[in-house]
Structure 1
Amino acid sequence: MAKQKLKIILPVVILLIAVLLMIVLMKGRQPAEQREDVAVGVLVDVISAQPEELIYRISSQGTVRPRLMTSLVSEVNGRIIEVSPNFVEGGFFAAGELLVKVEQDDYLTAVKAAEANLARATAALQEELARVRVAEEEWASFTEGEAPELGLRRPQLARELANVRSAEAELERAARDLSRTELRAPYAGLLQSKTVNIGQFISRGTVLGSIFGTDLAEVRLPLTDHDLAFMLLPGGEQSSYPLVELTALVAGQQQHWPGRLTRTEGVLDERSRVIYAVAQVDDPYRLQTDGKQPLRFGRFVHAAIEGSSSGQVIRLPRNLVRPGNQVLLVNTDSQLEFRPVQVQRTDERYAYVMEGLAAGEHLVVSALPNPLAGMQVRLGRVDGEWLDSPAVSDTEASGD
């Protein structure tokens, strides 16, 4: 009987103890701390707007060409008996150097024949002069009055004088043909191509080759009307054309050649609507300057033309200027702001802002997927330097 009562009372006691213990724990529990959610701005990198005075450099490009190009053409007939060692493609030669020599035997014979003909004509002229003197003396001795032309042998004298002049012309022609058997370089240059060689028979008008002058090289540079607005061309106070720096990648290294604009072509290209300016480079093959990289004909080069100077402008990476000439900056309240600006000029790398920005304002350079005006942000790097700020994750630092 006692065991049955214990089985009934014991569970009830345990249940009461558990209820009391739960009430005690609930009364001793501290309420959970309430925290307000604080919005953390996106971390962005910025650069500071810095006004500066600039000298614009107009970019263009073109191919290097020789200023002088000549086709060598034979003026006589004959067989080639001698060629210069420099008469090879790419060979350099000096002004007046013998390049090709044609067999001269026939032309030497022609000169001798012309000399003999001149001697005969001269002798005949002397004989006729003697007859004229005799005729004048006889007429003066036997007849009074003015002597007729025929009586004084004036027509015969004129004929012999004409024969002498004709013989002199023939001698000059023969001597000229003889000199043309030696083809000499009209100026210092290089042989671009050749079409004949020693032993070959050529006729008058045969093209022997093509030569380029090496004193000056030219580059035609296309320019737009907008480019011309920032260039200093002769006129008014400006008396000379601007300087040009040509660059090209040669054997993996960037090479530079100084030059100067010499003229602009007076007609716009009908298809591209650009005008061409011509730059010249002295001694492009550096034949008088040892140890420098030559500027070879046919090379494609980039040109930086010295332009006009500007006042206080702000130079920005071109990608920072958004459609509508707007830039994204961080205002004094650490919020994003879209600001319209006035762009004076752009090139392949930069945009040059005249108005709309103040010195020291922060322009966003981080890539933000969906920037909105008024979005709260934090400054990360300013002009490439980190600000003193709490450590953030790589994801926040990138602005993602």
Structure 2
Amino acid sequence: MIIAIFIALSVLLLNNKKRPEQQKAQVRTPVLEVIRIEKQDVQLSVNSYGVVEPKYKAEVVSEVIGSVNYISPDFAVGKFVSKGDLLARLDDSDYHADLAQAEASLAQAQAKLKEEIARGKVAKKTLRDVSPNKKTALGLREPQRKQEEANVKFAKAGVERAKRNLAKTEIRAPFDALVKMKNINMGSYLTQGKLIGELYGTETAEIRLPITPNSFSYLDLNRLDSRKLNIEAQYGDIQINHWAAKLVRNEGIIDKDNRMIYLIAEVDDPYNLKSPLDKSSNKSITSQSSSSQSLSLPVLQFGTFVTTTIQGKKVKDVIKLPRHVVRSEQVIVVDSQNKTQTRQVNVVRSDNENAYVIGGLEDGEFVSLIRSDSLIDGTEVKTVMSQSYTPEIAPLMAAEPKVVNAGESP
């Protein structure tokens, strides 16, 4: 009985309980930070660096044997020499004697030839008087004359050889150069092929500029040769010097050790030896440098580390975007109805922070700076303009290549 009363009261209470009001579920609209894109024309550039080297080097060696009896004061490390300047001289007394002997042998051969020519004339006259119908080459002494002519040629060659050997006792500079190394002293005995010194040509300096294959694709290959460059080198914390250079060629291969492509740039007259303001070419590096600095003509010394920027292709309608918003060359666009769309773009190049793309987007469209896997095409969103990102594009420059040897981590 008690249980029945309890059940009845429970049912009565449940029936009289006020039911809660039902509320409609609220759908939250995603909020995306966006930027308004702007297309711009961009000049691509590639940064590189290198060490200044002479275009021409020469190891000067002795072509004859003998002892050194003269060394030019200009044949010293750091001095400049001109083409044809005398660097050193060997004892030439034996070579003068050899020349005298060769000239005497030539005189003897010429005398014998004249004698044989005269004998031939006599033989010809004799045969004409005795037996005019039996003239033979042997009877006319033609073989003997030809032998003497050959002896004269041989003697002349001996004279020329003796003259050349005598001239080689004077060792001269093959081109305008800086003396890099001297390897002789007074009284030194030189054998044939003995290294005397090393010369660096001063007419043209050469710089090998490493470029990554990816950066190389930014360059206009049809206009690569003879392109003008600005070479820079920094001395100390403040002073920066500039030189005019030009690209002359591409080495045409990828280096197997560091996977770089090398471009070759040249600088004319790096030591300003041909400058009209500096007529004296016979100076040391120190005096030449101080003179040039006083005349505002910086000297580009061999071994200087320099940097440069190479102008590349000009690309139209480039759009700058934060790198993280481009995935698999796709971006999220918010259309005029505040709905999302996925667009395919073409990445021209990228750096640590930004990606530079072309195609797939139009001026004035809004690109989301937020990427989320939950955003599908057609999702309705709210937008907020970004205040921290600017779409303006500075001149695009590839980072300086880091030369890495095989087996090392870049």
Using structure 2 for the length normalisation, give the TM-score.
Answer: 0.68
Distance 1:259 1:281 in 2: 5
Unpaired runs of 5+ residues, structure 1, are 1-43, 332-336, 365-372, 384-400
1:344 equivalent in alignment to 2:348? yes
Which of 46, 56, 61 aligns to 2:49? It is: 61
Q: 1:131 Cα deviation (Å)?
A: 0.8
Going from structure 1 to structure 2, the CA distance change for 1:254 and 1:269 (only over 3 Å counts) comes to: same
Q: 1:226 Cα deviation (Å)?
A: 2.2
Distance 2:240 2:330 in 1: 34
Q: Write out per-residue CA displacement over residues 31-80 of structure 1, whole angstroms, 9 at most, x where no aligned residue.
A: xxxxxxxxxxxxx9x99976542222111222222111111010011111
1:244 equivalent in alignment to 2:244? no
1:86 equivalent in alignment to 2:71? no
Going from structure 1 to structure 2, the CA distance change for 1:240 and 1:348 (only over 3 Å counts) comes to: farther
Which of 69, 73, 76 aligns to 2:61? It is: 73
Q: 1:166 Cα deviation (Å)?
A: 1.1
Q: 1:119 Cα deviation (Å)?
A: 0.8
SS at 2:245 equivalent: strand
What's the C-alpha RMSD, in Å, of the aligned pairs?
3.8
Going from structure 1 to structure 2, the CA distance change for 1:346 and 1:380 (only over 3 Å counts) comes to: closer
1:66–1:212: 8 Å Cα contact kept in structure 2? yes
1:165 equivalent in alignment to 2:153? yes
Distance 1:268 1:162 in 2: 57
2:326–2:355: 8 Å Cα contact kept in structure 1? no
1:49–1:363: 8 Å Cα contact kept in structure 2? no
Q: 1:275 — aligned with what?
A: 261
One-letter amino acid matched to 1:299: T
Going from structure 1 to structure 2, the CA distance change for 1:270 and 1:380 (only over 3 Å counts) comes to: closer
1:327–1:363: 8 Å Cα contact kept in structure 2? no
2:225–2:249: 8 Å Cα contact kept in structure 1? no
1:89–1:192: 8 Å Cα contact kept in structure 2? yes
Distance 1:240 1:269 in 2: 20
Q: 1:136 Cα deviation (Å)?
A: 0.6
Residues 297-308 of structure 1: pairs in structure 2 closer than 5 A: 297-308=302-313
2:35–2:385: 8 Å Cα contact kept in structure 1? no
2:323–2:352: 8 Å Cα contact kept in structure 1? no
Going from structure 1 to structure 2, the CA distance change for 1:181 and 1:360 (only over 3 Å counts) comes to: farther
1:245–1:304: 8 Å Cα contact kept in structure 2? yes
Distance 1:99 1:185 in 2: 7
Which of 264, 277, 288 aligns to 2:274? It is: 288
2:325–2:331: 8 Å Cα contact kept in structure 1? no
SS at 2:58 equivalent: strand
Q: 1:264 — aligned with what?
A: 250
Which of 202, 211, 231 aligns to 1:223? It is: 211
Which of 143, 156, 160 aligns to 1:155? It is: 143
Residues 384-395 of structure 1: pairs in structure 2 closer than 5 A: none
One-letter amino acid matched to 1:308: K
Which of 194, 217, 241 aligns to 1:255? It is: 241
Q: 1:91 Cα deviation (Å)?
A: 1.3
Using structure 1 for the length normalisation, give the TM-score.
Answer: 0.69
Distance 1:298 1:230 in 2: 29
1:129 equivalent in alignment to 2:131? no
One-letter amino acid matched to 2:93: D
SS at 2:166 equivalent: helix
1:286–1:294: 8 Å Cα contact kept in structure 2? yes
One-letter amino acid matched to 1:244: L
Q: 1:327 Cα deviation (Å)?
A: 12
1:232–1:241: 8 Å Cα contact kept in structure 2? no
